[in-house]
Amino acid sequence: MEITHILQQSILPFLQQYAVFIVGVLAILLLFKSRLLAKIYKVKMISPPDANKVLRQSLFLDIRSSREVENGPKIKGSKFVPLYQLSKKMDELKQIGTEKKVILVCHSGGRAYGAAVKLRKAGFTDVNILKGGLLAWKKEGYLGSKKKKKKSRK
């Protein structure tokens, strides 16, 4: 009975008074969950110039959707694994080596946080996110291949 009384007198009124605030905080935590976890798992950001310096020694992992890759620019030599298939392809990626520097590439850098956490949890030790994603890579002028242009009819 004492617990019921405590709930009615203090906890429930508090929750009712601050419900909107509590829901807001929870929403923000969910929104930034991947970024928070990336900090906890010590995922690093790498600038396009620094990433370009280690292009040949690193695994550039393009996690964009199939449509984005088909219709957009690509980093020459990058391995394409859509984000939704990353967990399924983890054993294949581990064969490349969990100590190898991995640089995650997406359109602007935002989706890479979740992928980075998955890779760190799977044992990859050097996981990096391309800061600014493919947009920043393109802006720096490092594109390796571009979308094929259709021939125009005359």
**pLDDT tens track for 98-118:** 999 999 999 987 788 889 999
Poorest-pLDDT segment among 13-22, 100-109, 110-119, 132-141? 13-22
- In the chain, CATH 3.40.250.10 covers 35-139
Percent of the chain with pLDDT over 90: 51
pTM, to two decimals: 0.73
Say if domain 35-139 classifies as CATH 3.40.250.10. Answer: yes
Q: Give 53-60 contacts, CB < 8 A, sequence gap 24+.
A: 54/101, 54/103, 57/101, 58/100, 58/101, 58/102, 58/103, 59/93, 59/96, 59/100, 59/101, 59/102, 59/103, 60/103, 60/105, 60/130
Quick one: which of 32, 30, 44, 29 has its CA closest to 116?
Answer: 44
| AA letter at 44 | K
Rg of the chain over all Cα atoms, to the nearest angstrom: 22
